[in-house]
Amino acid sequence: MLLYLRLFKESFSFAINALTNNKLRTFLSLLGVTIGIFSIIAVLAAVDSLDRNIQDQLSGLDKNTMYLTKFSFGPTEVPRWQRDNFPQTEYDDFDFIRRNVPDIEASAYVIFGSPQTVKYGSETISGVEITPVSNEIYDIESIKIAEGRFYSESESINGAPVIVFGNSIAENLFGNVNPLGKQIRLYGRKLTVIGVMKKMGAGLGGSPDDKGYVPANFVRRFQSGGVDGIPGAVIIKPNKGVDMGAFEGVLKQKFRAYRGLKAGEPDNFFVNKMSGFTDAIDGIIGTMNLMGWIISGFSLLVGGFGIANIMFVSVKERTNLIGIQKSLGAKNRFILFQFLFEAVILAVIGGLVGLFFVWIVSLIASKFTGDFEFVLSAGNMFLGFMLSTIIGLISGVIPAISASRLDPVEAIRTGI
């Protein structure tokens, strides 16, 4: 044990001497490892942070939630001309589903909104995402209210001219004035502000802070077929623990009968599941991780060659010393471990420098991206350390073997 501790100490001393005596060569050799570790860990940290942010945004939405509408959220084999002829998803469809399909915890009718202009006094905000939706969306999306309330069932059914704003819209439109009870102009009509949502930060598909909710029936009074021709959908949240395959089958069967579709006729609607959406996101994130590994792998390859190069040079420079050590009784194993430890130390130093730069970048990124938190996890840091160690082992093993196999007499003679 003491022999190996001494071996490690001497190898560390040799590595430090190599670093200090050949600064430029060592810097260029370690640069590849540093860049490689930085690239891989930065990509992994960025993807992990993005994944965590997306999961936080989707945490309030059940993955079993379904959207019944005339278009598909993903790729489909149904031709475009056929999809264009599908009937719009109307409020009557929503009313039929909630009354006739069993095992539904909550359902809502939504009209996919488009950017609108909101006015209050002399203040005007353009491009506000207004979502006309029935009051049940409050339970489906777990909307959190900071001030006031969400509109009630009676207000939703009667199409009351009321609106609930996101936090940022309320702040920009009203400033320090209490927005509750104030009247704004939207769609060329007056609406009363009855609620302001809690500040949520950036989210998937935009920040909830920049959105607004109005009763769908309010918009249906003066616009049909959705807002500006954009169709609607029925959002369905099944009961917990229900068999999703059986539930979807019953839903399609009853809705096909409601629309008068005969056996053999294709569906003229789509049932889009949030689980498929989240699976697609997981697939995209996995692809991003893979591409990051491939691109960064080239940097690691260059770094490995750099470490191998400096070790071959080190063996060449210390050939005489190796011969002397072996003539004094040093075993091949001692020489092998000596150079192998040196390669690992060089690679680990490069890896630690790369991790340090990732940490700095994560702090800067978190500061300038606002609500998006860039996280460098302990797992990614450990992965970077292990990768740099493995690179050192692989890059140093051949030079170390060649050094351990040198003949002492020839080594001394060559060194002279």
73 pLDDT above the threshold of 70: yes
Domain end marker among 268, 290, 313: 268
Confidence of residue 183 (pLDDT cuts 50, 70, 90): very high
Domain assignment of residue 235, given as a range: 87-268
**115 vs 322, higher pLDDT:** 115
Task: Please check whether residues 231 and 148 belong to one and the same domain.
Answer: yes
Task: Please check whether residues 260 and 115 belong to one and the same domain.
Answer: yes
- Alpha-carbon distances, residue 57 vs 53, 141, 274 (angstroms): 6, 10, 13
Over residues 248-303, the pLDDT tens digits come to 899 999 999 999 888 888 888 888 887 666 666 677 777 777 777 777 677 777 77
211 pLDDT above the threshold of 90: no
- The answer to whether position 151 is within a domain reads yes
- The answer to whether position 82 is within a domain reads no
List, as one string, the DSSP characters of 54-70. Answer: HHHHHTTS-TT-EEEES
Most confident of 40-44, 184-188, 403-407: 184-188
Residue range 229-255: average pLDDT? 87
Domain end marker among 268, 301, 320: 268
Residue range 65-94: average pLDDT? 85
402 pLDDT above the threshold of 80: no
Task: Count how many domains the chain has.
Answer: 2
Over residues 354-391, the pLDDT tens digits come to 888 888 888 887 777 655 667 777 777 887 788 888 88
Confidence of residue 203 (pLDDT cuts 50, 70, 90): low
- The answer to whether position 72 is within a domain reads no
109 pLDDT above the threshold of 90: yes
Confidence of residue 2 (pLDDT cuts 50, 70, 90): low
- Alpha-carbon distances, residue 355 vs 176, 203, 236 (angstroms): 44, 28, 46
108 pLDDT above the threshold of 70: yes
Share above pLDDT 90 across residues of the chain, in percent, rounded to a whole number: 15
- The answer to whether position 65 is within a domain reads no
pLDDT at position 12: 65
117 pLDDT above the threshold of 80: yes
pLDDT at position 228: 46
- The answer to whether position 64 is within a domain reads no
154's CB contacts (< 8 A; 6+ apart) are 160
Task: Please check whether residues 32 and 141 belong to one and the same domain.
Answer: no
401, exposed or middle or buried, with CB in 10 Å at 0-12, 13-18, 19+? middle
Task: Please check whether residues 216 and 353 belong to one and the same domain.
Answer: no
Over residues 43-69, the pLDDT tens digits come to 777 777 777 776 666 655 567 788 999
Over residues 122-176, the pLDDT tens digits come to 888 888 888 899 999 988 887 888 899 999 999 999 999 999 998 888 888 888 8
pLDDT at position 94: 92
340 pLDDT above the threshold of 70: yes
- The answer to whether position 69 is within a domain reads no
Task: Please check whether residues 255 and 287 belong to one and the same domain.
Answer: no
240's CB contacts (< 8 A; 6+ apart) are 105
Task: Please check whether residues 247 and 303 belong to one and the same domain.
Answer: no
Alpha helices in 268-318 (DSSP H): 274-317
**414 vs 95, higher pLDDT:** 95
Task: Please check whether residues 210 and 326 belong to one and the same domain.
Answer: no
pLDDT at position 14: 63
Residue range 12-31: average pLDDT? 69
Task: Please check whether residues 306 and 179 belong to one and the same domain.
Answer: no
Task: Please check whether residues 263 and 289 belong to one and the same domain.
Answer: no
Task: Please check whether residues 179 and 30 belong to one and the same domain.
Answer: no
Mean residue pLDDT across the chain: 79
> How far, in Å, CA of 397 to CA of 330, rounded?
18
> How far, in Å, CA of 56 to CA of 348, rounded?
35
CA 150 to chain centre: 30
Weakest mean pLDDT among 34-38, 67-71, 158-162, 245-249? 34-38
- The answer to whether position 353 is within a domain reads yes
Task: Please check whether residues 223 and 169 belong to one and the same domain.
Answer: yes
- The answer to whether position 67 is within a domain reads no
Domain end marker among 220, 235, 268: 268
* Count of C-beta atoms within a 10 Å radius of residue 160: 18
pLDDT at position 276: 61
Task: Please check whether residues 255 and 376 belong to one and the same domain.
Answer: no
